[in-house]
Amino acid sequence: MLGDDFSCLGLRRGAVLAVKQYRVNNVRFRAVGIFESALHVPDDDGIGQYLVERISERTQCDVDLPARIKADFKSYLAANRPTKGNKTKQSDKEKKRKASRGDISENATPVKDADPVADAAAIAAEMGELKRKISVGLEQLIDDRCRLIELQNTHFSEDECAAAALDSLLYHHDGRPGFFHLNRCHGFFTVDDLKSGLVTDDDWEDAPQIKQQCADQLFYLHKKYNTWTPDRADVYDMRSLSHKKKMARAAQNLVDVFRGEQCIMGEEIQDLLSCYAVAAAGASDWAKQSLVCGSFKAAFKIMGIEIDAESLANGCPSLGTIANWEFRLAAGSLASVIHDIKVDAERLKKVDMPLHISLITDHGNRKGVDHLVKVIMWSSIDAKGNRVIRRFNLDIDAGEHTAVGAAEAIKKSLSVLGLEEERDNLRFSHLHGDRGGGGAVQSIFPELQSLEVLHILATWTNCMLHALQKALETASIRTFGKQGMGHKNCFQLCYLAIMLLVTVKKKGGRELLNHYYAKTIEKLMQSDEWQRVGGKSFAIALERFMEDIEEFEDLCDDSIENLIESLESPANLMQPNFGRWGTVSAAAKVVLQNWTQIYFMAETIKKAEKSESYLYKISNSLLELMTAKAYPQQENPTHYISLLFFSAFCQCFFDRHMEWFKRNDPVFGEGSYGQISRLVPEHLHLLLEQFRLLTTDNAWQLLPDFKPFVNAVNGLRELGKDTKGGKEFYVTTTANFFVHFEKCFATQIEQWKKPKVTWMAVAGHPMIVKWLMRKIANDESAPTDLEVPMHHHYMGVGSAPPMVNVRDAVEYITAEQGKEMFEQPFIQEFITELALIADGDGTIDSLDPSTWQGHNLSRLQEGIWNYIAPNSTHQQAAENLVQTANHLAKTNHGEARRTAGAMNHCLFARDFNRWAVGKLRRRKKREIERRREANNEAGVMDDDDVRGDKVRRPEGKQKLKMFIQYSDGILKSITVAKKTLTTARVREIYNNMRTNKHKSSAVVTEEKKTLFNAALQKKLNPKEGKYLNDLTPFINGTVVLSYLNGVNGGRPYLLAELDFRDEKKWRDLTDAQKSSMTDKELRYFLRGLERSRLDSEEGIQHEKDESVTAIKPLSPEMQEWLEEHQVRIMNEKNNK
């Protein structure tokens, strides 16, 4: 290493080099300093004199500048000095450019041709200007020369001189070696001298001794920078060198992590890896560990760093460490929630409001594992100052199925927040859940109030999605029957049809299903027989299929063969179940649209599959239902007609309202999924009004959606009774359907009609709010003809907003309980602001400041966000967490781990999806606004554009990019939140997260232990054992007759067993009769012989042959078969 004294500038023709010598570790080195001057100097004597003066001044010794150097300078000046003939006028820009790089002063005057023999007075006059123009290179030359003189005055031993080869310089130029004696140039030489010193390869090989002596002094011309560098060295500019040092330090930091015997990754890396592992919620810890190890292994490979397997394994997290990391991230998430709740409580305290928190609970059971989910919600302000609704999963435990046990579990989970000190600023004011089961919301609510968890003025609501679905399920079952094995109705037909498609897909993937689907269509289009069968069996379905094909042909300019190949089977199939929202109506739609294809596909599968296969059995049962008719001449199957009615009702009414209850609040934004309670009272009036219009005077029969059903019913005969499946049947069943739906739905929404809930309507439609307040305050009714469009209640994309009569809406909401509604705490607290809305001119929207007409309604706006916005309409958030807990339970994770995983999933998966979709929607809206502005389009944006219904969740690289941005922000907020809490508090949260001590299941476990320990002290009362009269067939050395079939190759052994027994009944049969008997007949014959044997040997009288299910092998052939096959058959039975 030559140190900082080594300096090298670019080489050009006429440049002068200075040789430096200095001592490092008792070894003397030479380096080459390069001087290049672009200055206009007066003459060679002047520059030479200047050099002599400066060097003498520095070294305090006389210096005689060699004449050779003077001549070189004179040649250099002659070659670079401008002449009168080639002078060009420089622009101001060029002068500034040269001045900035030190070539010439901006105000300098071009130098005239100088006379080499000018008198000393002229030279002295220009020396001052010359000194100002001296470049860094010239100063370096002086420094190099001074250093050279100092070194020459130093005395060295002869051994040192010989070892360092002080008189030689080796170099390379353009691939050729050079050799130069320094004592020939007195320390200075030109590039021409270096070129003259270049030798041929032969000369170089002849001087091995010199080469060896001067190995450490070998210099190369660095082509990129045009500089001379010593051997085994390179040249970098400072910026590049700093970057490389930084990268080297980064690589070293990574290597240092894997130098120890255990994982030493920092907390930031722990949280980072844990949040990215949330996407693998159902994966095992070993899978996560492998992904971490593989990622680091790939990073080392890319960097070209070798690392052994042991070091890599030691540096990666262990299985226990991965679990602790998840607990740590969940604890950080909970700490962040605690911090945010405190901040929001302090914010609302300034306006004299407590922070209202709403609860959602759901007690689900998935595959035998109970999951009691508790979610909290409250209104907050995000980092950008926007109002948002926050939700967080507090806990997931087994809980109890009783209301008291569930309430105790909720109380324990809330205690983890540790917000006792903030109790005056907090209020748990709302509970939301399902009406059914042991954890029903109406049962838990009073228990939570008695435990002082919920405020005394709190209220509860039930899930509207459950309410609608329950009404549909009740009406459907009481009209058409239950779904399930042994039931023959349209819903079981849907189940079998979907299962047929799903099973084919499982057998051969999407490719096999598409092949079946396309080939079925191809055959159907080419076969007159199939079309004749279809027209006779299901005329409407076949007509619909042919219309779809014709429409598809019109849209595509391609051959019929390519069209058929491009057709794909239905996708995203879900098994229809009334317990799953929307699955039955979706399945009915698929079956109706593909009725013809499914029918002929089932017929073909039945012929292709063996009778024992599952596909055969499904196809057989499905075809039985698809062909069921009330009488032979019926054009359309009975269950097909039933599905037409059910699907039409769902499409024109049920699905639209179901989707509305799933939407975000149009004002609260994308984070308000399921938080539209303020709009529910007025929407229930709209829903019931539309239902009455649908059913009054059978108006539904005139709707386009019901036209296929009406036509099918009109083609039926009247069979005299409404139970025979004729026209009378559907007249009765449709009326019953509507009656049951309305009755059940009315029961489900009872709570939503009570004043403790309907008061939230004061945050609804501004015109309804205006007259609602007048009604409950002064008993003043709205005009009878006042109708308003309900913009927030659109029924389908692109549809016009429905119109509602204001008087009817207000009468429905108050329901003669206006006085009780007026006394509700929220209305009394904000009565002043609400009075302004009621008495104001025109319409005032409390959530739109542009309509406030100069009034200050900001406190009312804050109250709506705080009191009403967190109240849920449905419990889909809790349902999603139950599914997440089920995935986590598959990896044998306990309650504590499931809770941590669900917390992380709630924050880094569910909330991310809402954040990402919201961001994409805002981006789309800005793009639409810019496009309209560019096209000078007037008017307000369409509802479809504002809602952004076409925006889907991000996928691929876009999703990954957005998740990186989102997770970085969340992790940063967690870090900030932890700093606001004490270290002891953070540690307490972490420790509580890792155990079940704060869960209700821990209490139940201790109670069970206590009862068991007490039972151990009781006197033992053993019962007398029962002796077995019979053992299982295989243990008892018998063969189950059902296994003796053609699949297991049992026929030869059946014949051998019958021959061995040599009974008279068998001997009396001829060989032809024996050969013609089927396997089933042979088994039945053998069963009768076995029954006779048991009756005679064991004294047990069997009433009939069917009571004998197994035989004891008597023939050697049958005994051999039993020995070979019983293990395999038992395994197959267990697997089933």
pLDDT in tens, 997-1014: 777 777 778 888 888 888
pLDDT higher than 90, residue 738: yes
For residue 741, is pLDDT > 90? yes
Q: Is the pLDDT of residue 836 over 80?
A: yes
CA nearest 653: which of 553, 737, 562? 737
State residue 1003's pLDDT score.
75
Q: State the average pLDDT over residues 648-668.
A: 89
More confident of the two residues 827 and 911: 827
Which of 256-265, 291-300, 691-700 bottoms out in mean pLDDT, i.e. has the lowest? Answer: 256-265
CA distances from 956 to 959, 960, 962 (A): 5, 6, 10
Residue 571 pLDDT:
75
1031-1077 pLDDT tens trace: 444 445 677 777 777 666 778 888 888 888 878 788 888 888 888 88
Tell which residue, 429, 458, 433, has the closest CA to residue 444. 433
pTM equals 0.69
Rounded mean pLDDT, 1094-1111:
66
DSSP bridge partners of 392: 376
Question: Is pLDDT of 170 > 80?
Answer: no
Residue 672 burial (CB count, 10 A): 23
pLDDT of 615 > 70? The answer is yes
Give the SS3 label for residue 892.
coil
Q: How confident is the model at residue 236 (pLDDT cuts 50, 70, 90)?
A: low
Judged by average pLDDT, the poorest of 34-38, 151-155, 967-971 is 34-38
Q: Which residue has the higher pLDDT, 585 or 1106?
A: 585
pLDDT-derived band at 17 (thresholds 50, 70, 90) equals very low
- 74 pLDDT higher than 60: no
Residue 706: pLDDT above 90?
yes
pLDDT in tens, 751-782: 999 999 999 999 999 999 999 998 888 888 88
Task: Tell me what pLDDT residue 72 has.
Answer: 46
Position 149 confidence tier, pLDDT thresholds 50, 70, 90: very low
pLDDT at residue 214, as a whole number: 46
**What is the rounded CA–CA span in Å between residue 16 and residue 39?**
14
pLDDT at 199: 60
Q: Residue 944's pLDDT is what? A: 43
Please tell me the least confidently modeled range out of 20-34, 433-447, 773-787, 1082-1096: 20-34
Task: Please say if the pLDDT value at position 565 is more than 60.
Answer: no
Token reading at 782 = 């709205």
- Considering the chain, what is the average pLDDT of its residues? 75
Rounded Cα distance between 400 and 554, Å, is 61
Nearest to 795 by CA among 659, 677, 696, 699: 659
Is the per-residue pLDDT at 883 higher than 80? no
Q: What is the pLDDT of residue 395?
A: 81
Per-residue confidence band for 443, with pLDDT thresholds at 50, 70 and 90: confident
Separation CA 558–CA 750 (nearest Å): 57
pLDDT in tens, 467-485: 999 999 999 999 888 877 6
Residue 118, pLDDT > 50, answer no
Asked whether residue 331 carries a pLDDT value surpassing 80, the answer given is yes
Residue 411 has pLDDT above 60, yes or no: yes
Q: Is the pLDDT of residue 536 over 60?
A: yes
Task: Report pLDDT for 1005.
Answer: 80
Predicted local distance difference test score (pLDDT) of residue 1007: 81
Contacts of 129 (CB under 8 A, 6+ apart): none
Q: Three-class SS string for 503-570?
A: HHHHHHHHHHHHHHHHHHHHHHHHCHHHHHHHHHHCHHHHHHHHHHHHHHHHHCCCCHHHHHHHCCCC
In the predicted structure, residue 710 carries a pLDDT above the cut 60: yes
